[in-house]
Chains A and B, each alone.
Chain A
Amino acid sequence: MSETVATPPEIPTRPEVPAWKLVLTLGIAGALAGLLLVFVDQATREQIAENRRKAVREAVGEVLGGPAKVVSFAVGADALVREAEPNYEVDTVALNRVFAGYADEEGKQLLGFALAYQRTGFQDAIRVIFGYDPRTKKVLGVKVLEHKETPGLGDAIEKEPFLGPIRGQVVDLVPVKPGDGTGTEHEVDTITGATISSQWVVWIINEAVAKAGPRIDAWLAQAEGGR
């Protein structure tokens, strides 16, 4: 096999173009492209950000069972930092933000916290948001934000038959095979055929609680103590 590099014959008729012309062409093209993009960006940026926030906002509302008021907290090094306005930019890798939902407008009746967290599934990350009541350690509601599990199989983790029964269970959750449960309030029935995917959801909840739980508890103790 010969792999000599064949230099294509120069086309003799093409006139030499001065370098400044090349640079100018690229410059103009680049500038025009940039200009166009800035314009489109201006038109779409807010909408895109809003779409993202909306997704999280709706999810928070869903897993907390429709709170009247939501407060966001940045997860600090050792404590939760309350934010003035609810901020829905979440980083599910770092678990940078949790949300507290209240049943009343004044923020008196705490419904629970919403936590968004992720881990690697079969192919890619599974991102889950769930509501959690720090006082009873109960899960309030679960929603899968994003996953790439097998369609038709692993994607059962985003469906009600699996997620519904998790509601009301107490962390630490223990995944069990359907029918094998002993009836304790820690148990979650996994999905036949998608056992691992469903176990991952359970682990995500456990890990998220393990990670942010102490800070939530601390905040709660402070808030209730201060009252």
Chain B
Amino acid sequence: MRALSLFRHGVHPPDHKTLTAELAVKRMPFPARVVLPLSQHAGNPARCIVKVGDHVERGDKVAEADGYVSVPIHASATGTVSEIGLWPHPNGGYQPAVTIDVDPYSAQTRRQRLLPDWESLDQGALVKAVQEAGVVGLGGAAFPTHVKLVPPEGRKVTTLLVNGCECEPYLTTDHRTMVDYPERVHLGIRIMLECLGVKRALVGIELNKADAIQRMEETKPADLDVEIMGLRVRYPQGAEKMLIQSLLDREVPSGGLPADVGVIVQNVASIATIAEAFETGLPLIERIVTVTGNGVKKPANLIVPVGTILEDLIAACGGLTDDAAEVVLGGPMMGTACANLQAPVMKGTTGVVVLTKSEVRSREQQPCIRCGHCLDSCPVFLNPQLLGNLAKNDEIQEMTDNHLWDCMLCGCCSYVCPSNIPLSQMFAAAKDSARRAQASKA
């Protein structure tokens, strides 16, 4: 096994993974209610197909896909639809959601399969089934998985890359998936290869997850062309472009897709979920969430029904400590802070990280001293110093000329900036206004 890392720059924040890395995945008790936002994935929000008072079983569809880049949403617990309306959304603000009061007397047992057996399906039907299962990328971006399974016209995919890097600090979701359910991952890879008509798969795992690498190697089926590769620990090793460069030494062209270099990348948790869906016949209604950080009393890796309210989830982990100060959904580098604990867990919620006061003490912003550390950290070789300067003066056009769109908001520049300039935040805002400007022009 080789320790690869061909991508340069990046940063190395302390990973804090020991809080949960050794804890096996446990199931969380069903909460009193679940809230399913209709917008949980990239693309069009799903369209609601239930009404208040309807009784739904686990796995029943409550909203269906609206268009191609969209997936249906399924009830994650048996109960009654009690409310359809606006509900706090993890990304801030309020968004339409379906609230289900969980039936306290239901056994919530596994029911007869809703999805067909994958071996009986051809490629097209398989892709359709993946969409029907509501699968999205579980690494955080929540991009509908079935879309990725059909490479764009004229692009030939030759390799499947499985992303088991989990380079975000604190999170151990993918790690525990690989340790606790390695067979499921391999089955998922098998299904994906079938689906894509591809022979070869590479699994990239950061070297700080030795047990995961070992378990994956042990359980590797003899007939599957899978190679497990250890990668140097470096953020953002798990970003698609970086992973492709590290494993295959190929550069995804600026503005292009992985398919442009013959690759498709899937997160290890998404792959496990696909396998689980076809195993059990149930769509994506629950996921593994790492609840961690010094602000939470009993950190854990939990299987959580999608739609569980954060408050319930945190209560299941012993509640917040007194010095808890910020709740971050996702990893601390790219995740979003959420102040309203009524917001639910979504399909793309990889973890809940609770930071304490001392960890988030706000730092005063100072003038840029042109130290150039941001340039040395940017994994895609932008010049954040210049971009930041342009952003400060609202020169959006100049920013796009300087490759603003190549920025993936990984946060490395903000992390290293000694002057605490919120660079990635400025770039996100600039992207927004550039998008708005484009929209208004169109």
Decide if A and B touch, CB cutoff 8 A: no
Give A contacts to B, CB under 8 Å: none
